[in-house]
């Protein structure tokens, strides 16, 4: 009988939201202003932006118009986290 492969852990809601944020950034160029408008939260339980910055998943590239026009980009760690999240989602869909 072949050994079964371990089942990846279920992602937490916050991890899923972070993956959604990273996918949103990866979809097209986003300014800091656009990012803050869409993702800023005053809720301490919804800290997607702060968590992504703190974990080094995103970075700011300076813009000509100051902070508001700076671009928010995925770092190599952000791309890796997005790829890992997509792999977990795909494996979960296969199990369903």
Q: From CA 70, how far away is CA 8, in angstroms rounded? A: 36
pLDDT digits (tens, 9 = 90+) for 21-71: 999 999 999 999 999 999 887 777 778 888 899 999 999 999 888 888 899
Domains of the chain, by residue range, sit at 29-95
- 95 C-beta neighbours (distance < 10 Å), count: 7
Query: Does the pLDDT value for residue 91 go beyond 70?
Result: no
The tokens describing 24, both together, are: 């949103």
Residues 6+ apart with CB under 8 A from 17: 46, 48
Query: Does the pLDDT value for residue 73 go beyond 60?
Result: yes
Nearest in space to 24 (alpha carbons), one of 62, 58, 66: 58
Q: Which fold has domain 29-95?
A: Arc Repressor Mutant, subunit A (1.10.10)
Query: Does the pLDDT value for residue 90 go beyond 60?
Result: no
Give the CA diameter of the chain: 63
> Average pLDDT of 16-23?
92
């Amino acid at each position: 009988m072949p050994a079964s492969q371990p089942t990846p852990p279920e992602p937490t809601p916050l991890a899923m939201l972070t993956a959604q944020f990273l996918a949103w950034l990866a979809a097209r160029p986003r300014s800091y202003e656009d990012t803050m408008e869409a993702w800023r939260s005053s809720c301490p339980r919804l800290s997607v932006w702060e968590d992504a910055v703190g974990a080094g998943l995103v970075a700011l590239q300076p813009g000509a118009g100051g902070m508001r026009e700076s671009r928010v980009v995925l770092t190599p760690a952000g791309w890796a986290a997005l790829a890992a999240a997509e792999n977990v989602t795909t494996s979960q869909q296969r199990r369903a």
